[in-house]
Amino acid sequence: MPKPVLWFTLYCLAEMGAYGRGIQISTTSLAEKLELSQQSASRHLIELEHLGLIERHITARGELIQITNKGVEELRRVHLGLNTVLEKPTPTFLTFEGEVFSGLGEGAYYISLRGYRRQIVKKLGFDPYLGTLNLKLTSKIDIQTRKELDVYLGIVLEGFENETRSYGPAKCFKALINNAVEGAVVTAFRTHYDESVLEVIAPVYLRTRLNLKDGDKVQVKVFILRSPEFSA
Amino acid sequence: MPKPVLWFTLYCLAEMGAYGRGIQISTTSLAEKLELSQQSASRHLIELEHLGLIERHITARGELIQITNKGVEELRRVHLGLNTVLEKPTPTFLTFEGEVFSGLGEGAYYISLRGYRRQIVKKLGFDPYLGTLNLKLTSKIDIQTRKELDVYLGIVLEGFENETRSYGPAKCFKALINNAVEGAVVTAFRTHYDESVLEVIAPVYLRTRLNLKDGDKVQVKVFILRSPEFSA
DNA sequence: ATTACTAATCATCGAGTAA
DNA sequence: TTTACTCGATGATTAGTAA
């Protein structure tokens, strides 16, 4: 979590449209909105950039500011917290629809590692098929929803290291694929690769079990744990 | 708007349950959550109390903290802002159901004042019947929703003064009563009386027009202006 | 215009401690 | 145990100004 003052500046930027389309603004006008000096606005932007929460392109007449995925995550975290506090119903599951595509087989590699595999058996309750089903999310709303996963509590697979290298932690959610097979969705922890992809694992080979080929549509129901995580 | 640091402390308190039931907590344990010193936690609580955002009852072993309506409003304001930013659909109207009851006739008094009446004609487009229909909200969800009105933009009736005294500003929302009559809901601006009451005005005498007597249920559809207000 | 440096100012914080 | 004071240290903000 960034410091409250910085979070607030980030929030202000978002209100002005820096999420998505991005905005062009001068530090002076930002300062007015924040009720701070031009110098402080400038410093805040520098610090937010260093934290990786915004991207900037400084031009002659102001700067182009865009909130990064990491930045949106910080906003989303508080949003979820407020949802809970203000008694907005928190979903118990999220549904996605994606198209099957072939990855490069890294999924299979990671799952085959004993460090991960043993945790999957223990924490998810099944011995995974050694491969992942990659789903490309196409609708805008699904991609949007996908990002919400980042701030929900999931089942954590701890990072570990073997002789060769070290492996980071990952976050899983139990899931139901095509309303038929129980499995899980796996997301790397705090690594922002492609936000429009869902990686699914299951105890069985999903392609044969569900008779899938590239381009087929698949529905996934992802189960959320109650409260949003709240930590740095 | 309180300072960002204080807002954040307020938010933390809310997360711990200080909204609604209230919490018993020591400044030391609060300090841990905030990652601040006990002294700072203490100071924050003092300041929040001075701002009227929380109420405290200090006991031998910690203090009882309760977030006030004003405090919740501050949280709600940011929540709504985040809704907009994160592209959650903002409602265009809110619906309520309440029971008719007889007030003390102050409604009629206020509306009869030229200072308000002229603004109603001009800004709401009708000449109001000189009285209000009081609705008591009974369901918890309606009372909850009623509070949301505080942070939405409405049509503002400016305050004024006459020979006798001065009158504060009020906020209105156009409304549809029982899906039949067009009128408006009036809320005093930043005065927190009874949060479970809705005051309705209309160009006609609603009790005869809709054939209402005390205790009858009435549906009200309240129309919201686009964006939430964002100011002190 | 801009952004952002340095230096001076001012607010906030935490240590120590009283009640 | 508590809360919350004083006060010196820390850190954030603004003024002035360079680029």
Rounded to a whole number of angstroms, the distance from the CA of B71 to the nearest CA of chain A is 12
SS3 content of chain B, % helix, strand, coil (to 5): 35, 30, 35
Strand C interface, protein residues by Cβ within 7 Å: A 25-29, 38-39, 42, 45-46, 58, 60-63; B 3, 5, 36-37, 39-40, 43-44
8 A C-beta contact, residue B189 and residue B168: yes
Nucleotide nearest B37 (Cα, C1'):
C14
What average pLDDT does range B7-11 have in this prediction?
Answer: 97
What is the spatial distance between Cα B229 and Cα B159, in angstroms, rounded to a whole number? 19
Chain C positions with any atom < 7 A from a protein CB: 1-6, 12-16
pLDDT score at A62: 84
With a cut of 70, say whether residue A1 has pLDDT above it. yes
Stated pTM of the model: 0.81
Residue type, A120: I
The residues, ordered by sequence, that sit 6+ positions from A107 with a Cβ below 8 Å of its Cβ are A131, A132, A134, A199, A201
- DSSP-derived secondary structure letter, A18: I
Of residues B5, B72, B75, nearest to A4 (C-beta): B5
What is the spatial distance between Cα A68 and Cα A56, in angstroms, rounded to a whole number? 10
Of residues B8, B78, B84, nearest to A82 (C-beta): B78
With a cut of 90, say whether residue A150 has pLDDT above it. no
Highest-scoring range by mean pLDDT, A81-95, A137-151, B28-42: B28-42
Angstrom CA distances, B22 to B14, B70, B120, stand at 9, 15, 40
Chain A hits for B144, Cβ within 8 Å = 87
**pLDDT tens profile B172-193:** 999 999 999 999 999 986 666 6
Tokens encoding A127: 């011995």
User: Are the Cβ atoms of A144 and B87 closer than 8 angstroms?
Assistant: yes
Nucleotide nearest A62 (Cα, C1'):
C2
Residue type, B169: P
Q: Testing the interface with A: which of B78, B82, B151 to mutate, by most A Cβ within 10 A?
A: B82
With a cut of 60, say whether residue B228 has pLDDT above it. no
**pLDDT tens profile B126-152:** 999 999 999 999 998 899 899 888 888
What is the spatial distance between Cα B213 and Cα A71, in angstroms, rounded to a whole number? 54
Angstrom CA distances, A123 to A115, A127, A174, A184, A195, stand at 13, 10, 10, 11, 25
Greater confidence (A18 vs A60) lies with A18
What average pLDDT does range A71-86 have in this prediction?
Answer: 94
pLDDT score at A230: 41
What is the spatial distance between Cα B8 and Cα B217, in angstroms, rounded to a whole number? 40
Label residue B232 by pLDDT band (50, 70, 90): very low
What is the spatial distance between Cα B187 and Cα B177, in angstroms, rounded to a whole number? 16
Label residue A10 by pLDDT band (50, 70, 90): very high
What average pLDDT does range B11-21 have in this prediction?
Answer: 89
Tokens encoding B113: 């004042």
Tokens encoding B127: 């000449």
Locus of tokens 């039949």? B180
- DSSP-derived secondary structure letter, A90: P
Rounded to a whole number of angstroms, the distance from the CA of B101 to the nearest CA of chain A is 28
**pLDDT tens profile A19-47:** 877 898 999 999 999 999 999 999 999 99
Number of H helices, E strands in chain A: 8, 12
What is the spatial distance between Cα A74 and Cα A232, in angstroms, rounded to a whole number? 10
Lowest-pLDDT range of A50-54, A201-205, B38-42, B61-65: B61-65
**pLDDT tens profile B85-98:** 997 777 889 999 99
8 A C-beta contact, residue A44 and residue A5: yes
Rounded to a whole number of angstroms, the distance from the CA of A19 to the nearest CA of chain B is 7
